[in-house]
Structure 1
């Protein structure tokens, strides 16, 4: 008696392992797992694929997976777990059963297929034959030392190593941390800043990955408390904790899940850096003088590097950024390392340099941007934005991403650091201890002073952010 295609799929599903999209998300960055895309090449060209997936035509499975076949592919002789998928899960069910029949043992398929993967927010590469934004722009060859991800923070042999930005550019050293509290103290003591805190923090979770959910939650809370304004850090920590919780539920290695999630986030972020940098580089004109503030991280630096590579002659003006001198110690040396002229100025010079006509654009990073367009960044950003506005100089702020919990400026908690830090510069006292002082670390620039926010959707008006799905 003939069978329907549905009956064949149902029979196959009864004999094979099926995993959910959530389970697949945990496995996507595991080097011991190979995803196999069974869709037609035209589907891959039109829709893209899961990052790192191996493509195999559905009709070749019995031949490619059979060691006795003249068409045998050695990839199926590895010890990896294979995850087959198609568009909706029908072809992959039949292919998984066929592969199982010819001897492939460690195999499953993803229920719902690529369609469900996309619907539930799974990562997707560019269409077949395309490159990721970071690869397309060649950004890793352009990055100066201090923003190379491996030099920002990494986990090795039970410890977290953080690039000590306090010592750069005079030394390129890693600060060693043996506990979560060590990492928290390093973040609080400004060993790192910008994107450094979140990268150090998520790697710190690996130190307690085998100690259970409560230990991970306690570590997260301790780390977030170090920099309450840095919502990027809290959001990244929550992403990693969600992956850890799912792994724990599924009986999968929590440490591996954390490691894989960190790598996945990092790859996405540097792709987004490339997209934003390209958008800003296209706005920069030949001959521009560019004022910045504090340390703009990879996005800002790459926009200058891409503009230079495009043949544009630019000059950067970099306030020193007291009391930790990030502009002098990080920004100016990084720009110089990229072969771009950088003029170091003191924090009270921008208005004068603008009046002289040397500045054409003011560009900074942002620790966060509210949905209604307020830019929160290093203290001093706001006064420069007002001055730029008065001199008809457009101000552009790089967004790191969207935080829907920060709708207006009232949702921002400005971090007040120890006033003693203001009474010194790089450890050298500049006044007596009895002098009063204040150190609000950030300020908030209203959208009226912001010409554009640099997002993954391009350079957009701060008033339109609420209409953009992804920044």
Structure 2
């Protein structure tokens, strides 16, 4: 398949997400982009796992970093006999997949597939490192291709000259929506919620929108009610780190409160993504609690007195009654009818 990152903004070109080469994994540091264009180089799979934990990359970026990290683990273990090498890769799979707990289920699908690819390569006397790297590229192609379908369905729901409110950085769907709008000569403008404390909406989503030539405005997270009252917002949309089968979704903290405001002001909220086959209920979703120090400072500058406390839940869970629809590669589904999607697609090959 042709590489699917054509016409993509800087953040979404494959080599700028995560890339294995010559015994290193290079990951574009999204914590400082676009202020700086700098890469973190990982010499071991443990360093890749730590980079994922530290949010060097986020959104769908860790899925790619995980695959490239597994290629690195294969290179690290090349001196071992085949069975010992597979055992090493299984340990790496466990470490990388659990770098962030809320998405461990999706990450496990990726890393376990890498182990299976390595096992097949070894059985055929092929290089497992290259096989894992190629599998990761194939996965990227598949994800971009799939999300392009999602983008087409989502774009149908946005009028020409329409205004879209985003939350956090939906990675692939953001790039695909922008590319598809350009291909259809559809004019859109974007309001990007800033998304504290890491500012992914301001730094990442807004950067992609502006780079692709769209009118882009950043608003802080506490301006949403004002925005909806004084601007015509046609659609609020976000991706989801988990879409449970009972219609609840987990996404960057703040998604829930914007959904409440969207309902209050009559703005439709469309979630994009693929329902998770292993999440029957939202009660299975584990919310990651991150270092509260990240709330007490911004860009390394403290803005509270000593002794002030903070909390940092990285995600929140939005209930189905606030979700207008879940937009998938197979069309648009009610959050109360995700079983219909899963009936047609019972096994998740997206990752």
TM-score of the two chains, using structure 1 as the length reference? 0.68
Tell me if 1:333 matches 2:198.
Answer: no
Tell me if 1:383 matches 2:248.
Answer: no
Matches within 5 A, 1:144-163: 144-163=9-28
Tell me if 1:193 matches 2:58.
Answer: yes
Of 138, 142, 145, the residue aligned with 2:7 is: 142
Q: Measure how far apart 1:208 and its partner are.
A: 2.3
Partner Cα separation in structure 2 for residue 238 and residue 455 of structure 1: 24
Of 423, 440, 456, the residue aligned with 2:296 is: 423
Larger RCO (CA under 8 A, 6+ residues apart): 2
Q: Measure how far apart 1:161 and its partner are.
A: 0.3
Can you list the C-alpha shifts for 1:185-233, whole angstroms capped at 9, x where unaligned?
Answer: 2111111101111111111112221341221111112112221111332
Matches within 5 A, 1:356-395: 356-395=230-269
Matches within 5 A, 1:340-359: 340-359=214-233
Tell me if 1:253 matches 2:118.
Answer: no
Of 122, 141, 153, the residue aligned with 1:279 is: 153
Q: Which moves more between the two structures, 225-234 or 384-393?
A: 225-234
Q: Measure how far apart 1:387 and its partner are.
A: 0.8
- 2:98–2:107 CA contact under 8 A, matched in 1: no
Q: Secondary structure of the residue that 2:202 maps to in structure 1?
A: helix
Partner Cα separation in structure 1 for residue 193 and residue 7 of structure 2: 23
Matches within 5 A, 1:30-179: 140-179=5-44
- 2:95 corresponds in structure 1 to 222
- 1:319–1:328 CA contact under 8 A, matched in 2: yes
Q: Measure how far apart 1:251 and its partner are.
A: 4.2
Partner Cα separation in structure 1 for residue 301 and residue 232 of structure 2: 33
Tell me if 1:318 matches 2:192.
Answer: yes
Can you list the C-alpha shifts for 1:84-143, whole angstroms capped at 9, x where unaligned?
Answer: xxxxxxxxxxxxxxxxxxxxxxxxxxxxxxxxxxxxxxxxxxxxxxxx8x8xxxx63431
Partner Cα separation in structure 1 for residue 50 and residue 114 of structure 2: 21
Q: Which moves more between the two structures, 381-390 or 349-358?
A: 349-358
Partner Cα separation in structure 2 for residue 447 and residue 175 of structure 1: 38
Q: Secondary structure of the residue that 1:343 maps to in structure 2?
A: strand
Partner Cα separation in structure 1 for residue 184 and residue 37 of structure 2: 30
- 1:415–1:441 CA contact under 8 A, matched in 2: yes
- 1:438 corresponds in structure 2 to 311
Of 166, 169, 174, the residue aligned with 1:292 is: 166
- 1:411 corresponds in structure 2 to 284
Partner Cα separation in structure 2 for residue 355 and residue 305 of structure 1: 29
Q: Secondary structure of the residue that 2:294 maps to in structure 1?
A: helix
Q: Secondary structure of the residue that 1:404 maps to in structure 2?
A: coil
Provide the aligned length of Structure 1 versus Structure 2. Answer: 335
Q: Secondary structure of the residue that 2:222 maps to in structure 1?
A: coil
- 1:142–1:302 CA contact under 8 A, matched in 2: no
Partner Cα separation in structure 2 for residue 284 and residue 316 of structure 1: 12
Partner Cα separation in structure 1 for residue 292 and residue 298 of structure 2: 12
Partner Cα separation in structure 2 for residue 275 and residue 186 of structure 1: 30
Report the CA distance shift for 1:215/1:445 in structure 2 as closer, same or farther (over 3 A). same
Partner Cα separation in structure 1 for residue 324 and residue 304 of structure 2: 39
Report the CA distance shift for 1:170/1:455 in structure 2 as closer, same or farther (over 3 A). same
Gaps in structure 2 of 5+ consecutive residues: none
- 2:272–2:326 CA contact under 8 A, matched in 1: yes
Question: Which aligned runs of 4 or more in structure 1 are off by greater than 6 angstroms?
Answer: none
CA RMSD of aligned residues (A): 1.8
Q: Secondary structure of the residue that 1:214 maps to in structure 2?
A: helix
Partner Cα separation in structure 1 for residue 225 and residue 183 of structure 2: 29
- 1:449 corresponds in structure 2 to 322
Partner Cα separation in structure 1 for residue 63 and residue 186 of structure 2: 33
Q: Secondary structure of the residue that 1:396 maps to in structure 2?
A: strand
TM-score of the two chains, using structure 2 as the length reference? 0.90
Can you list the C-alpha shifts for 1:224-264, whole angstroms capped at 9, x where unaligned?
Answer: 22211113322211221222233334444322331232122
Can you list the C-alpha shifts for 1:60-105, whole angstroms capped at 9, x where unaligned?
Answer: xxxxxxxxxxxxxxxxxxxxxxxxxxxxxxxxxxxxxxxxxxxxxx
Partner Cα separation in structure 2 for residue 314 and residue 251 of structure 1: 51
